[in-house]
Structure 1
Amino acid sequence: MSKGNPPGLDLDRLRGHLERELPGLVRGPLSAELIEGGRSNLTYAVTDGTGRWVVRRPPLGHVLATAHDMRREHRVISALHPTPVPVPRALLLCEDESVVGAPFYVMEFVTGTPYRTAGQLGALGPERTRRVVLGLADTLVQLHAVDPAAVGLGDFGRPEGFLERQLRRWGKQLDASRSRELPGIDELHAALAKALPASPAPTVVHGDYRLDNVLVGADDSVGAVLDWEMSTLGDPLTDLGLLVMYSEQRPVPGSPISTTRDAPGHPEPAELVERYAAGSGRDVSALPWYTAFAYFKLAVILEGIHYRYTLGQTVGPGFDRIGQLVPLFIDNGLTTLQEG
């Protein structure tokens, strides 16, 4: 770990704040490193040489209202920690931007491994790979079994009209990054709107549930679900549709999108759905809609990245090929909806 300050985290000021708010927690000078892999919010592993913690803060230069994001993440993991859902224990929320320059929260460090590629997952062997991936479905069942009101999350979102709002929101996101013809994307958006399913009873939804947003423990079970920045109350099948979409992905040469589908022993997406349906008791017959919606969302996200790349705002390996992937996700969405 670095002894100096990583970008966005003043360790002396952080230590002073922790000593005031949680006396006895920190026993010496802090060192930290930025953990790679987060979609937007920054995550740091921090230690005093004895204890280890994790700090989350908004990205550098972020100009949106970010205190709300940190408060929501801290609130949801605090509420879920006493339940069977594996989440880190939240220790402290700080909305005073004078400490490190932005709101942040501190949680316990959970030991575990994030699996982002087929090679990493494949190193476990077929039996363990199967156990890890099926555990994703089991953990999703646990999350969606939580009664939001019973854990203080009854007002965590507005579940009425959830799917309509989601579809409208992602349609606006698409319009904001339109810079070229994308055959089929308006057809997909319209078809999703026309076939909107009736949502089951609302639950806490993660919003970005997939293998590389969890830590897997030494026993191959899900040790912690991370990255709750998109969580809310809504339709639980949106989480399952997203998991299925990611589980279907075959690797595309040169693509920066990670996929584990080709790891030997990886369960078929249909088996994940069956496992979830058996564990939750929910009707999953409308799942093709939710999977197609997941394809639409990712197509919009990728098109936004491509648009920023064309403006010179995004640099890095693989970003020049993002634009080529968008039509694949549009086609997959249309095919999934038609076959459903």
Structure 2
Amino acid sequence: MSAVPFSVEPLAAYLRAQGLAGSEAVQVVPLSGGQSNPTFRVTVGENAYVLRKKPAGVLAPSAHAIDREYRVMNALQGTDVPVPRMRVYCEDDSIVGTPFYLMDFLQGRVFMDPALPGMEPAERSAIYREMGRVMAALHSIDLAAVGLGDYGRTGRYVERQIDRWSRQCRALSVPLDPAMLALMEWLPTHLPEGDETTLVHGDYRIDNLVFHPTEPRVIGVLDWELSTLGHPLADLAYHCMAWNVPPTLWRGMGGLDLPALGIPTEAQYLADYVAATGREVQGHWSFYMAYNLFRMAAILYGIAQRAADGSAASADAEETGRKAGPLARLGWEWAQRHAL
């Protein structure tokens, strides 16, 4: 485990000034996960917090927006979307080297594998019901009531995303799979009619949820870095990629015997979402799935480019980047299904 990249004493003094620490020793250890923004567990006596900070160095203006993470989780306090209690946001670079925020540490379970190995079917079923309930609640948040009406642009979310990722891909020097090129042409010409804007998480998946230590209950939704105002079905389809991507390719469970596992089929899961929100998902589902596979492929092509340039932070970046093509081909299969 890497060392803590800042002196603990200025942080301890800051916590004391904020009333979050007394005379107790302050201990800081790095946490895994949250790769984009360095994350640490801060222990003060019997209290435990999570510190999330910007990385050091020169950053793109919109990247590593921990102020947005803090804002959205603070706004969701007391709603049907469970989030950690937010403690403080600090812009003073002199404390830990960059701006940071502090929230309560959640003692619970994080599941990395969507197939939930080692569980009984009834346990898996309850976990998935709860995960779907929270997503429906997220897309039902009254933006004005919680002060998030200006949290992002309203309308044309998917169109803007397709344009953004297409431009990024065209700027790369790594070769793009023909399916990726086909998606870049097909998606802008098949945008669904109608539009809707809700709060979207942007990265809603099982390993970004903290469950109660023993109950099938979400106690915290984490990693809001990609959250904004957007189209709820785009957010839902991203989450549902897990049903359609095989575990050998990405974090998925495509091809597994879901009834035997006690995990709802995608159709059952979507039916529960429709019942909870009144929002219809049929008609354009294949478009939103194709769009999300395109988006994920675009992200992985960016990783492949960094691996080719020798600037990737992760040791497995080259292997990860090789998954972009298969994801694009899977996305093109969904696009052709939509056209039928």
TM-score, normalising length: structure 2: 0.90
Measured at CA, do residues 124 and 83 of structure 1 come closer, stay the same or move farther in structure 2, by a change above 3 Å? same
Q: How far has the Cα of 1:48 moved from its partner?
A: 1.7
3-state SS, counterpart of residue 40 of structure 2: strand
Q: How far has the Cα of 1:138 moved from its partner?
A: 0.9
Measured at CA, do residues 49 and 279 of structure 1 come closer, stay the same or move farther in structure 2, by a change above 3 Å? same
Aligned to 2:244: 248
Aligned to 2:277: 280
Aligned to 1:206: 201
Pairing 1:128–2:123 present: yes
Matched to 1:265, the amino acid is G
**Counterpart-to-counterpart distance in 1, 2:268 and 2:56:** 41
Pairing 1:53–2:39 present: no
The counterpart of 2:100, out of the listed 92, 101, 104, is 104
Matched to 1:160, the amino acid is G
Q: How far has the Cα of 1:197 moved from its partner?
A: 1.4
Measured at CA, do residues 9 and 228 of structure 1 come closer, stay the same or move farther in structure 2, by a change above 3 Å? farther
Question: What runs of 5+ residues in structure 2 fail to find an aligned partner?
Answer: none
> CA contact under 8 A between 1:67 and 1:95: conserved in structure 2?
no
Q: How far has the Cα of 1:112 moved from its partner?
A: 1.6
Measured at CA, do residues 248 and 222 of structure 1 come closer, stay the same or move farther in structure 2, by a change above 3 Å? farther
**Counterpart-to-counterpart distance in 1, 2:77 and 2:55:** 25
Matched to 2:279, the amino acid is R
**Counterpart-to-counterpart distance in 1, 2:187 and 2:210:** 33
Matched to 1:333, the amino acid is G
> CA contact under 8 A between 2:297 and 2:324: conserved in structure 1?
yes
Measured at CA, do residues 99 and 315 of structure 1 come closer, stay the same or move farther in structure 2, by a change above 3 Å? closer
Aligned to 1:309: 307
Pairing 1:64–2:69 present: no
**Counterpart-to-counterpart distance in 2, 1:283 and 1:237:** 9
Aligned to 1:267: 264
Question: What runs of 5+ residues in structure 1 fail to find an aligned partner?
Answer: none
Aligned to 2:287: 289
Q: How far has the Cα of 1:76 moved from its partner?
A: 0.4
Measured at CA, do residues 67 and 212 of structure 1 come closer, stay the same or move farther in structure 2, by a change above 3 Å? closer
Aligned to 2:146: 151
**Counterpart-to-counterpart distance in 2, 1:208 and 1:16:** 35
Measured at CA, do residues 332 and 67 of structure 1 come closer, stay the same or move farther in structure 2, by a change above 3 Å? closer
1:212-236 C-alpha deviation (Å, 9 max, x unpaired)? 1111112112111000011111111
> CA contact under 8 A between 2:176 and 2:325: conserved in structure 1?
no
3-state SS, counterpart of residue 177 of structure 2: coil
1:153-177 C-alpha deviation (Å, 9 max, x unpaired)? 1111112222221111111221233
3-state SS, counterpart of residue 224 of structure 2: coil
1:121-154 C-alpha deviation (Å, 9 max, x unpaired)? 2112222112212322110111111110111111
**Counterpart-to-counterpart distance in 2, 1:292 and 1:37:** 27
Runs of 4+ in 1 over 6 A off after TM superposition: none
Pairing 1:216–2:214 present: no
Q: How far has the Cα of 1:239 moved from its partner?
A: 1.0
3-state SS, counterpart of residue 284 of structure 1: coil
**Counterpart-to-counterpart distance in 2, 1:27 and 1:87:** 29
Measured at CA, do residues 65 and 27 of structure 1 come closer, stay the same or move farther in structure 2, by a change above 3 Å? farther
3-state SS, counterpart of residue 152 of structure 1: coil
Of all paired residues, the percent bearing the same amino acid is 34
**Counterpart-to-counterpart distance in 2, 1:45 and 1:292:** 38
Pairing 1:183–2:183 present: no
Q: How far has the Cα of 1:307 moved from its partner?
A: 1.5
TM-score, normalising length: structure 1: 0.90
Matched to 1:157, the amino acid is G
Between Structure 1 and Structure 2, how many residues are aligned? 332
The counterpart of 1:168, out of the listed 147, 163, 168, is 163
3-state SS, counterpart of residue 50 of structure 2: strand
> CA contact under 8 A between 1:88 and 1:110: conserved in structure 2?
yes
3-state SS, counterpart of residue 61 of structure 1: coil
Matched to 1:324, the amino acid is R
Measured at CA, do residues 271 and 318 of structure 1 come closer, stay the same or move farther in structure 2, by a change above 3 Å? farther
Pairing 1:10–2:12 present: no
Aligned to 2:298: 300
**Counterpart-to-counterpart distance in 1, 2:124 and 2:173:** 39
Matched to 1:321, the amino acid is E
3-state SS, counterpart of residue 291 of structure 1: helix
> CA contact under 8 A between 1:200 and 1:236: conserved in structure 2?
no
